Amino acid sequence: MVIEYMGIKEINGPLIVLDGVKNPSFEETVVIRLENGEERTGRIVKIEGERAVIQVFEGTHGVSLSNTRTRLTGHPVEMPLSSELLGRIFDGAGRPADGLGEIFPEKRRDINGTPINPVSRVYPRNFISTGISSIDCLMTLIRGQKLPIFSGSGMRHNELAAQIVRQAKIADKEAEFAIVFAAMGVKNDVADYFRRSFEESGVLSRVAMFLNFSNDPIIERILTPRCALTAAEYLAFDRGMHILVIMTDMTSYAEALREFSSSKGEIPGRKGYPGYLYSDLASLYERAGMIKGSGGSVTQIPILTMPNDDITHPVPDLTGYITEGQIVLDRTLDNSGIYPPVSVLPSLSRLMKDGIGEGFTRADHADVANQLFACCARVQEARSLASVIGEEELSPNDKKLLEFGRMFDSRFINQGYDESRSIDQTLDLGWELLSALPREELDRIDDKTLEGHYKPADEAPADE
Amino acid sequence: MNNVIYGINGPVITVLGNTGLSMMEMVLVGNDRLVGEVIGISDKETTIQVYENTTGLAPGEQVTGTGGPLSATLGPGILDNIFDGIERPLKAIEAVSGDFISRRVNVSVLDEQREWDVTVCVKTGDQLSEGMVYATCPETQIITHKCMVPPGLSGTVEAVRPDGKYRLNDTVVTLRDEKGVLHDLTLCQKWPIRKPRPTARRLYADAPLVTGQRVIDTLFPVAKGGTAAIPGGFGTGKTMTQHQLAKWCDADIIIYIGCGERGNEMSQVLEEFSGLIDPKSGRPMTDRTALIANTSNMPVAAREASIYTGITLAEYYRDMGYHVAIMADSTSRWAEALREISGRLEEMPAEEGFPAYLPSRLSEFYERAGLFETLSGAAGSVTVIGAVSPQGSDFSEPVTQNTKRFTRCFWALDKSLAYARHYPAINWMSSYSEYLDDLSDWYKKNVGEDFLDCRTRITRILQEESKLMEIVRLIGADVLPDDQKLVIETARVIRVGFLQQNAYHKDDTYVPLKKQLGMMRAILHLHRSARAVLAAGIPISRILELGLFDKLIRMKYEVPNDNYEMLDGYIADIDNALTSLG
């Protein structure tokens, strides 16, 4: 027999309080039926004896203290799973939203997941070729990695993510590849842009989309990435596929969490975000990886917009501490028309050191990358000097550095939206640019490697 | 007493009424018997933090006290193992629950079936006091495990078993204490993790922890038994530095605590350490290492406990007379766990939401480091190296500031150095070590009389350079007089050729102290001789043309670690080249 509880005790934003509940369990799902027959879902977020605080995913508009009947379901929020997930579109709470009917589940899993045992993990070292020079050479993406894109409103992060999806796919023909796309609080246009670009590149049937739009209930947004990652884990570790998860926009997710936390009356931490923001973000990002004995992998590319382009804002800051590197986009580059506007110096891939070089990419990869980074740092110094004393007054070496910087931005970083460069092309381009610098500037590379690749400007083929 | 769950809020649960539980007592919560710890008691309710995920827990489920505080099990089998924050072995959990850590896994902390080759080193009638060794066994090929009488116990040996193979819980010695009570001593003992293990007395720490990292050994050394903090924003190489130290420092035992960090990083440590051969013993690094992995997505309360579990293991090995180094990566995550729990308890927050007791908790932790005379009269040390991840890379935040107060070494990682891929990105201007005076005699005796003198001169050049760079940034380097240009050139050699160290290069990843001294001598010799040449009126451009500076930058790769006499050749080359000018 199912007990239904009539009415509720209190409503506070997205939270309702139910009294006299028999046997509630923590994080259990509840179904709330309104007088007009509408059903809403919620989950128990706090229990004090017979008093349960319930978070309502669809929001509490239209709910009064007396017009509801609430029923406990006895299990936490679960996601139905089967390989049918691919090619489907779901709403933010994991319910089908494309009118194609329910999923016939092979399994149901708690969307919170459980942590991967660190000893069961395989240390990721398989290079994913994205065809984008700046990423492949300087912040190499590795299968099983979580590599976020730090962007700002109005920059072309969506294009970059779509390009990665399109080009990374080509690099892997032998294994099954699929995409899980989670949109949290994004504009309808953005979701539509991704849908179209998946369609154009012919991967739509290999995509599971979870969409929570910016006008959708905010609490649902907290479930969206969890549903998506539960699906991704299932496809990767039960079905052995390589899954690329794109999550956008993590900042809206964190804002939803903040709203929820403040309506619960919790003590806020930095900028009003709850004290557990780090643990909460980690419970999402850490679901990337590879597991021993399973052929699949979950690779994450979360996208977040830095409010006011501030990288020290809590969301990018905490994200950077959890993820294995970051791709930082820069507004100055974006404004000068360079695409993708990747700012090289603050960008990083922590896993690249073990996934590049002989046997993975090319023996000289690490040297080129280190040298390019070092040169970019010096270009920056030269630029700031030039802005004080003027370019004319610079030493010849500094002038060469400035020239190198310009070439680097316009030829190495900048590339077409449809242009895919192989790793060989990228590294050769790197050498070509380095060769424009005097040999003593290249202090990160040993003589032997230099012998083979360094061709000073006069010997190198002329540009264009 | 019938204690049942009343309230549940994330990892914190409450039990109504006077429960009879005591503060910090370990409890088992709910039908799944999740591990928890009492953190607050009033006459109305008792508050418990749970070390596992609380999803599905319901009011009315039982809460049982265990009668004792949360304790670590100490015995052979700790090394070459990996535990979570409350010392549950992850490999055994994997065998039970698969690739994902589920709740309610019940596994014993140390392998109870494995047989150890035990040598009993006491005989019937011997008087034993606390901390004395009664049996030994080889735990790994390089570390001998010593079973010690637990603190607080002493008496006469009543019976001993012969040498042979014993399991963890087999009795090897029976002890009769003063009151005539018999105690069975097995291979293991328990100790509450939040309480420091007793020692005889603290000793003066006068030997450095040699790490083979030039910027640390030379500029900012840490003593064996010292404390050091590595603060740095993300991407500055905290973890990398910790890994390097764990791999190369000359401690006998390494305890590596991955506290709220990445899962992939832990699998990297596991993989790398088992593949890496310790040059001194010829055995894999894992033979002297124990790992504690509480990754960021594992329960937050266990993250809080992981630091204490780690230092308790370290103290246990210290009591055997070993030098132990702890790498805690990262203490900020631990502080955040404190904040998170404190928030759930609705305590009044102090700075940035951190609880007011943050400084006292930090100092309690760091004060457990030190060089001690153990209860059995041996000398053992615990060195603590804690990484700090400041929010927004801002060193003025509470965790960094408070850590600074309780550690004596501060290795500040610098974002701009990391951007230029200058690793280790330890900023030589803002870092410091308070151990220099304590260690000076050791350096003089064991490395060279002039070691500290060279160090002082190196830092002076770096300081001078940083002053000059302010001018250079405004008007460019060309306007400087030749002697100042020389300072800038020498400083470049120091920065690139000495401070920068390549962890992936076979010779450069670890550099013996004697070679570090040799390199400093060569650099300073060049500086001194070049200054003399300048004084004779020869312009610096001609000196630079000789390529001596670039040659010294490359010496770190060209001089092998076992043949640093080669460095004398560099000095001769410098002399020859410079005399050719004159």
Residue-wise pLDDT tens digits, A53-108: 999 988 888 888 888 899 999 888 999 999 899 999 999 989 999 889 888 999 99
Contact B188, B166 (CB under 8 A): no
- Which whole number is the average pLDDT over A317-331? 92
User: CA–CA separation, A269 vs A273, rounded Å?
Assistant: 5
Q: Does one domain contain both A38 and A126? A: no
Taking Cα atoms as reference points, which of A347, A247, A342 lies closest to residue A298? A247
State CA B469 to chain mean position distance: 35
CATH code (residue A117): 3.40.50.12240
Give contacts of A269 with chain B, Cβ < 8 Å: 339, 343, 352-353
Q: Which helix (H) or strand (E) holds B304?
A: helix B300-319
Q: Does one domain contain both A194 and A59? A: no
Contact between chains at A351 and B264 (C-beta distance less than 8 A): yes
Q: Does one domain contain both A164 and A224? A: yes
Taking Cα atoms as reference points, which of B79, B90, B78 lies closest to residue A118? B90
Q: Does one domain contain both A220 and A336? A: yes
Q: Does one domain contain both A68 and A85? A: no
Residue type, B400: T
Domain presence at residue A462 = no
Contact between chains at B267 and A144 (C-beta distance less than 8 A): no
Give contacts of A270 with chain B, Cβ < 8 Å: 352-353, 391
Burial pattern B19-32, b for ≥16 Cβ within 10 A else e, equals bebeeebbbebbeb
Kindly state whether A454 is in contact with chain B, defined as any CB-CB distance less than 8 angstroms: no
User: CA–CA separation, A291 vs A242, rounded Å?
Assistant: 12
Domain presence at residue A447 = yes
**Confidence at residue B472, expressed as pLDDT on a 0 to 100 scale:** 85
Q: Across the interface, which of B58, B389, B554 has its CB nearest the CB of A321?
A: B389
Contact A184, A92 (CB under 8 A): yes
Q: Does the interface ipTM go beyond 0.90?
A: no
Give which of B96, B99, B332 to mutate to test A binding, by max A Cβ within 10 Å.
B99
Angle of helix B331-344 versus helix B300-319 axis, rounded to 10: 130
Q: Across the interface, which of A123, A275, A326 has its CB nearest the CB of B267?
A: A123
Contact between chains at A279 and B476 (C-beta distance less than 8 A): no
Kindly state whether A295 is in contact with chain B, defined as any CB-CB distance less than 8 angstroms: no
Looking at the complex, report in whole angstroms how far the Cα of residue A199 sits from the nearest Cα belonging to chain B.
33
Give which of B244, B397, B421 to mutate to test A binding, by max A Cβ within 10 Å.
B421
Give contacts of B16 with chain A, Cβ < 8 Å: 49
User: CA–CA separation, A163 vs A417, rounded Å?
Assistant: 7
> Tokens in use for B521?
């001598």
Domain presence at residue A398 = yes
Taking Cα atoms as reference points, which of A359, A307, A301, A29 lies closest to residue A145? A301
End-to-end CA distance of chain A: 79
Q: Across the interface, which of B263, B421, B473 has its CB nearest the CB of A373?
A: B421
Mean pLDDT of chain A: 89
> Tokens in use for B392?
């927004």
pTM given for the model = 0.90
Contact B14, A26 (CB under 8 A): no
Last residue of a domain, one of A76, A103, A119: A76
Q: How many domains does chain A have?
A: 3
Contact between chains at B421 and A446 (C-beta distance less than 8 A): no
Largest Cα–Cα separation, chain B: 94
Q: Does one domain contain both A381 and A297? A: no
What chain A residue is nearest to B351 in terms of C-alpha separation?
A269
Is A464's pLDDT higher than 50? no
Give contacts of B271 with chain A, Cβ < 8 Å: 123
Taking Cα atoms as reference points, which of B76, B57, B316, B83 lies closest to residue B196? B316
What chain B residue is nearest to A111 in terms of C-alpha separation?
B55
**Confidence at residue A462, expressed as pLDDT on a 0 to 100 scale:** 42
In the β-sheet with B116-120, what is the strand arrangement from edge to edge? B144-148, B133-138, B116-120, B164-166
A75-104 residues touching B, CB cutoff 8 A: 76
Q: Does one domain contain both A297 and A225? A: yes
**Confidence at residue A463, expressed as pLDDT on a 0 to 100 scale:** 42
Contact between chains at A26 and B99 (C-beta distance less than 8 A): no
Kindly state whether A450 is in contact with chain B, defined as any CB-CB distance less than 8 angstroms: no
Q: Does one domain contain both A55 and A111? A: no
Domain presence at residue A90 = yes
What chain B residue is nearest to A24 in terms of C-alpha separation?
B58
Is A334's pLDDT higher than 50? yes
In this structure, the number of other CB atoms found within 10 A of the CB of residue A188 comes to 12
- pLDDT tens profile B57-101: 999 999 999 888 999 999 999 999 999 998 999 999 999 888 888
Contact B521, B527 (CB under 8 A): no
Q: Across the interface, which of A289, A312, A354 has its CB nearest the CB of B263?
A: A289
Q: Across the interface, which of A26, A286, A293 has its CB nearest the CB of B57?
A: A26
User: CA–CA separation, A66 vs A243, rounded Å?
Assistant: 46
Angle CA B44–B45–B47, to nearest 5: 155
Domain presence at residue A461 = no
- pLDDT tens profile A101-126: 888 999 999 998 889 999 999 999 88
Give contacts of A350 with chain B, Cβ < 8 Å: 235
Residues with Cβ within 8 Å of residue A17, at least 6 apart in sequence: A8, A9, A10, A11, A51, A52, A53, A54
Containing structural domain, residue A67: 4-76
A369-428 residues touching B, CB cutoff 8 A: 370, 373-374, 377-378, 384-385, 388-389, 393-395, 398
What chain A residue is nearest to B555 in terms of C-alpha separation?
A446
The residues pairing with B229 across neighbouring beta strands, listed in sequence order, are B386, B410
Contact B415, B233 (CB under 8 A): yes
Contact between chains at B260 and A291 (C-beta distance less than 8 A): no
Is A427's pLDDT higher than 90? yes
User: CA–CA separation, A156 vs A139, rounded Å?
Assistant: 18
Contact between chains at A366 and B82 (C-beta distance less than 8 A): no
Residue type, A208: A
Distances (CA, A) of B365 to B263, B319, B384: 24, 17, 9
Three-class DSSP category at B192: strand
Looking at the complex, report in whole angstroms how far the Cα of residue B466 sits from the nearest Cα belonging to chain A.
15
What chain A residue is nearest to B4 in terms of C-alpha separation?
A49
Q: Does one domain contain both A42 and A111? A: no
Distances (CA, A) of B560 to B516, B550, B557, B563: 12, 18, 7, 5
Instruction: Write phi, then psi, for B422 (nearest 5 degrees).
Output: -95, 105
Instruction: Write phi, then psi, for A248 (nearest 5 degrees).
Output: -140, 130
Chains A, B: CB contacts within 8 A come to 218
Tens of each residue's pLDDT in chain B, 582 residues: 688 999 998 889 999 988 888 988 999 998 888 889 998 898 889 999 998 888 889 999 999 998 889 999 999 999 999 999 989 999 999 998 888 888 767 788 899 999 999 999 999 999 999 999 999 999 998 999 999 999 999 999 999 999 999 999 999 999 999 899 999 999 999 999 999 999 999 999 999 999 999 999 999 999 999 999 999 887 788 888 988 998 899 999 999 999 988 888 888 888 888 888 876 778 888 899 999 999 988 888 889 999 999 999 999 999 999 999 999 988 999 998 998 888 888 888 888 888 999 999 999 999 999 999 999 999 999 999 999 998 877 889 999 999 999 999 999 999 889 888 888 999 999 999 999 999 999 999 999 999 999 999 999 999 999 999 988 888 877 788 999 999 999 999 999 999 999 888 888 999 999 999 999 999 999 999 999 999 998 999 899 888 899 889 989 888 888 887 888 889 999 999 998 886
What chain B residue is nearest to A354 in terms of C-alpha separation?
B268
- Which whole number is the average pLDDT over A282-300? 92
A176-235 residues touching B, CB cutoff 8 A: none
Last residue of a domain, one of A320, A355, A390: A355
Is A174's pLDDT higher than 80? no
What chain A residue is nearest to B354 in terms of C-alpha separation?
A269
Q: Does one domain contain both A14 and A127? A: no
Give contacts of A144 with chain B, Cβ < 8 Å: 264
Angle of helix A277-285 versus helix A220-233 axis, rounded to 10: 30
3-class secondary structure for chain A?
CCCEEECCCEEECCEEEECCCCCCCCCEEEEEEECCCCEEEEEEEEEECCEEEEEECCCCCCCCCCCEEEEEEEEECEEEECHHHCCCEEECCCCECCCCCCCCCCEEEECCCCCECHHHECCCCCECCCCCHHHHHHCCCECCCECCEEECCCCCHHHHHHHHHHHHHHHCCCCCEEEEEEEEEECHHHHHHHHHHHHHCCCHHHEEEEEEECCCCCCHHHHHHHHHHHHHHHHHHHCCCEEEEEEECHHHHHHHHHHHHHHCCCCECHHHCECCHHHHHHHHHCCCEEECCCCCEEEEEEEEECHHHCCCCHHHHHHHHHCCEEEEECHHHHHCCCCCCEEEEEEEECCHHHHCCCCCCCCCHHHHHHHHHHHHHHHHHHHHHHHHHCHHHCCHHHHHHHHHHHHHHHHHHCCCCCCCCCHHHHHHHHHHHHCCCCHHHCCCCCHHHHHHHCCCCCCCCCCC
Residue A198 CB-half CA count within 13 A = 23
Angle of helix A277-285 versus helix A314-322 axis, rounded to 10: 50
> Tokens in use for B307?
């630091």
Residue B285 CB-half CA count within 13 A = 22
Q: Does one domain contain both A229 and A262? A: yes
Give contacts of B6 with chain A, Cβ < 8 Å: 48-49
Last residue of a domain, one of A76, A110, A138: A76
Residue type, B115: E
Contact between chains at B59 and A24 (C-beta distance less than 8 A): yes
> Tokens in use for B427?
């900023």
**Confidence at residue B582, expressed as pLDDT on a 0 to 100 scale:** 66
Q: Does one domain contain both A234 and A316? A: yes
Instruction: Write phi, then psi, for A266 (nearest 5 degrees).
Output: -85, 155
Domains of chain B: 5-69 (2.40.30.20), 116-187 (2.40.50.100), 201-433 (3.40.50.300), 451-581 (1.10.1140.10)
Contact between chains at A112 and B55 (C-beta distance less than 8 A): yes
In this structure, the number of other CB atoms found within 10 A of the CB of residue B356 comes to 12
End-to-end CA distance of chain B: 94
